[in-house]
């Protein structure tokens, strides 16, 4: 049992020693016994014993009371409930980029699209040639990548899945293809060498730009849960004609200019366009019969725009505590 080191208990002990100790007040009185008659000695002895007993029992009672107050205080402050369930393992959550990807998947599945996959180590044919990017085309320089010794490469975009999906499923086709892509790229606030894309494609009879615009509007309002200002620019991609760059007004600076939008006020969210007839033909389909639209989007940039994160790099190399704020 731990004794209570309360100052008041020390004070009480000092009082006990002073009154009842061997050199205490009562002992002093006892020293006068020798000068007394036997009768006086007997009655004084009795009296002293009574006083001594009374003092002792009072001091003991006081000490017990103080100790129980101290013990109760400890019990109150150190109490805990042994029967409370343990907090358990902290649950994880999806990465903000994965959240965007899953939401887009849910949306397109609800619209009747298939979710397709393609290899990250891709053949040159699917990554470039079949997408109307011949060997000497400058678009190959813009998508410099990592090559394997056997001639394959790390895919630079998810667009090769367009060809694979058309070859496998034919037309009509509605599909999206999320996945990881790679480029030999200088890393900066909006570029990573390894990143994600999400491809979408619809091929059928009589598909027009009107369908493309409808699906892009549906997509963007689902992602941002609000009105976003968008801008369509003509954009060149060899596998679409016409091609468009779809930008949203920067949600971080509201269009004033910041590092994410490279001071332009606009963030490229996706590339899109009407599938080039050469691509339809590459997949073995009749381009006079089928038309289509396609888009390619960056889920990480979308996540940055949605959460107001100013630098793409912190999505991938930051402490997990940074990511925890995006738990859902």
Q: Examine residue 160 and tell whether it contacts ligand DAH (CB under 6 A).
A: no
Packing angle, helices 7-20 and 38-78, rounded to 10: 170
Written as one string, the DSSP assignment of 142-184 is HT---B-TTS-EE-SSSTHHHHHHHHHH-SSEEEEEEEEEE--
Q: How crowded is residue 18: how many other Cβ atoms within 10 Å of its Cβ?
A: 12
Q: Examine residue 159 and tell whether it contacts ligand DAH (CB under 6 A).
A: yes
Q: Distance between CA 164 and CA 159 in Å, rounded?
A: 9
Restricting to residues 228-257, name those near ligand DAH by CB under 6 A. Answer: 237, 240, 243
How many residues appear in the chain? 328
Restricting to residues 253-272, name those near ligand DAH by CB under 6 A. Answer: 271-272
Q: Examine residue 122 and tell whether it contacts ligand DAH (CB under 6 A).
A: no
- Name which of 153 and 253 has its Cβ closer to ligand DAH: 153
Cα distances from 26 to residues 33, 35, 62, 199, 273, in angstroms, run 12, 16, 20, 100, 109
**CB 135, min distance to ligand DAH, A:** 18
**CB 301, min distance to ligand DAH, A:** 12
DSSP run (H or E) holding 266:
strand 266-275
Question: Can you say how many angstroms the Cα of residue 293 is from the centroid of all Cα atoms in its chain?
Answer: 34
**Residue span 285-304 as binding mask against ligand DAH, x where in contact by CB under 6 A, dash where not:** ---------xxx--------
**Residue span 164-203 as binding mask against ligand DAH, x where in contact by CB under 6 A, dash where not:** -----------------------------------x----
Number of residues that bind ligand DAH (CB under 6 A): 12
User: Binding residues for ligand DAH, per CB under 6 A?
Assistant: 157, 159, 199, 237, 240, 243, 271-273, 294-296
């Amino acid at each position: 049992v731990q004794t209570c080191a309360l100052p008041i208990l020390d004070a009480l002990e000092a009082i006990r020693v002073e009154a009842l100790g061997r050199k205490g007040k009562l002992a002093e009185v006892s020293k006068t016994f020798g000068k007394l008659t036997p009768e006086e000695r007997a009655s004084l002895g009795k009296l002293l014993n009574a006083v001594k007993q009374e003092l002792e029992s009072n001091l003991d009672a006081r000490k017990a009371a103080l100790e129980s107050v101290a013990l109760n205080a400890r019990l109150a402050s150190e109490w805990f409930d042994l029967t409370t369930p343990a907090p358990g393992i902290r649950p994880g959550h999806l990465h903000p980029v994965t959240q965007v990807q899953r939401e887009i998947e849910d949306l397109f599945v609800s619209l009747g699209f298939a979710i397709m996959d393609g290899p990250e180590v891709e053949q040159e044919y699917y990554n470039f040639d079949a997408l109307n990017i011949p060997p000497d085309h400058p678009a190959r320089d813009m998508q410099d990548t990592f090559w394997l010794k056997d001639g394959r490469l790390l895919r630079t975009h998810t667009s090769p899945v367009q060809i694979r999906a058309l070859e496998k499923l034919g037309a009509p086709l509605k599909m999206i293809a999320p996945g990881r892509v790679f480029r030999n790229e200088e890393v900066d606030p909006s570029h990573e060498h390894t990143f994600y894309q999400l491809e979408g494609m619809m091929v059928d009879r009589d598909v027009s730009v009107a369908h493309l615009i409808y699906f892009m509007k549906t997509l963007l309002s689902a992602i941002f849960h609000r009105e976003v200002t968008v801008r369509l620019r003509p954009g060149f991609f060899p596998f679409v004609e016409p091609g468009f760059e779809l930008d949203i007004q920067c949600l971080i600076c509201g269009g004033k200019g910041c590092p994410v939008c490279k001071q332009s006020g606009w963030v490229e969210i996706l590339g899109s366009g009407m599938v080039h007839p050469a691509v339809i033909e590459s997949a073995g389909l009749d381009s006079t019969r089928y038309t289509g639209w396609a888009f390619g989007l960056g889920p990480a940039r979308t996540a940055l725009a949605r959460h107001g994160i100013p630098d793409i790099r912190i999505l991938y190399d930051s402490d997990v505590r940074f990511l925890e704020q995006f738990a859902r």
